Every structure is written in C-alpha cells, then in structure tokens.
Chain A
Amino acid sequence: GQQLNQSPQSMFIQEGEDVSMNCTSSSIFNTWLWYKQDPGEGPVLLIALYKAGELTSNGRLTAQFGITRKDSFLNISASIPSDVGIYFCAGQLPTSGTYKYIFGTGTRLKVLA
C-alpha cells in the first residue's frame, strides 16, 4: 500500500540533544498526525495538525504542517531516555473521507545517556 517517505529511518543521539524528523509526500494531505510507538505497544498520538502552516507544540515536542501540504516535521527538544521509540507520521488524503490515513515507515530513535 501507499506509504509516506519518512526520514531519517533511525537516529542515535545523546541525551539532551534536539531531534528533528520529517515526512514528505507527492500528494496533498488534509491532516497530519504524529505518533510514538513503544516496544510491544500500539502507537500513541502525540500531535495533530489540521491546516497548512500550523505549528503546534506539546511539551518538548513541536510539529508543523508544511505550507505545500505535502510535508510535516516533528522536533523534540532536550531529549531524554524515555523518548526512545518509533515515531510515525500519518497523513489524511483529501479524497479519503475523515477516516483513512497513510502512515510513514517510522523513525527509530535511540537516546544514549
């Protein structure tokens, strides 16, 4: 099935560093969502973005909906060990109604203490 291009695929960073990851698509999206998945768990929603140019924060996390509507990024500031996990972006196509999302392949984040 269709998937979003998400990069980087994996990251090893030192505790306290900032992290940036992004998703790009050739298609326009109506909504962007960012999820985090811990080992053995299902994804948990971190941030939802609903309009082009929107910049939203959730604690140390900041995400933006690209103005072209074809990309989004997620930043994590001052990383801590519990930030370890897989981060997924998900986009909703305009033609898909309000329920179908396409997911990125994920960014695996490892934080070195």
Chain B
Amino acid sequence: GAGVSQSPSNKVTEKGKDVELRCDPISGHTALYWYRQSLGQGLEFLIYFQGNSAPDKSGLPSDRFSAERTGGSVSTLTIQRTQQEDSAVYLCASKLSGRSYEQYFGPGTRLTVT
C-alpha cells in the first residue's frame, strides 16, 4: 500500500524566499507530525496534528514557520523569509491514531537555503 509521501524531495531556495513543503499521510491515519533533521542531528519535533483537535505547535522554531492540515489529510509546512539555518531535511510522519505508537515516516524534503 501507499506510504507517506512528501514533495518536493529536494528544494533549493534563495535566502528570504518562502517555501511550501507538502506531506501526504497514509490514508486513514489521523495523526500527523512534522520533524526537522539537521546534518548529524536527531529529529527535532516541529508540530503535531490529531484529528480535529488544535495542533501542538510547540516545536515550531519561529513565527516564520507555520503548518496546515486540510480536511484531516494533506499537510503543508510553510517557511517564510527562509534563512540559511533553515537548511535541513524536513520529515513528515503519520500514525493511525493518537493512541498508537508507531509513526510511519515519509522520505523527507531536503531544503537548502543559499
């Protein structure tokens, strides 16, 4: 079956530009995460969506970062006025429900800000 997909797989942008990263979770999964993985680092939690509940945005590093999840499915992570320190791999994960433990990760979007 289809796993979590993310697009684009790679994105190179100039400093100051806005970018949108897309995540298509596994069909039927109600929970969705965004993580950031910097070179040589672990996964940094950014935001969590669960069903119709208010998202947990506590991991967003600044107000330049925002995310939406429309219709309980596709999610978009937007970074405004990108900075070089935003360069990283952005990973999306989904899981069946808020009570399940296993997260299924997408392949990530590698963002490079020049």
Could you list which residues of chain A lie within 8 angstroms of chain B, going by C-beta atoms?
1, 3-4, 6, 31, 33, 40-45, 48, 88, 90, 97-106
Cα of A103 to Cα of B50 in the assembled complex, Å: 20
Cα(A79)–Cα(B107), bound, Å: 25
Q: Given A100-B56, A103-B43, A105-B41, check contact A42 B4 (CB 8 Å).
A: yes
Residues of A within 8 A of B1 (CB): none
B98 at the interface (CB under 8 A from A): yes
Q: A-B pairs with CB below 8 Å: how many?
A: 61
For chain B, give the interface size range.
Answer: 20 to 34
A33–B42 alpha-carbon span in the complex (Å): 13
Distance in angstroms from A82 CB to nearest chain B CB is: 18
Q: Check B42 against A98 for contact (C-beta < 8 Å).
A: no
Given contacts A1-B44, A99-B31, A100-B45, contact A31 B56 (CB under 8 A): no
Instruction: Chain B residues near A88: list those with CB within 8 A.
Output: 42-43
A88 to B41, CA, bound (A): 10
Which residues from chain A contact B41 at a C-beta distance below 8 Å? 3, 105-106
The minimal Cβ–Cβ distance linking A103 to chain B, given in whole angstroms, is: 4
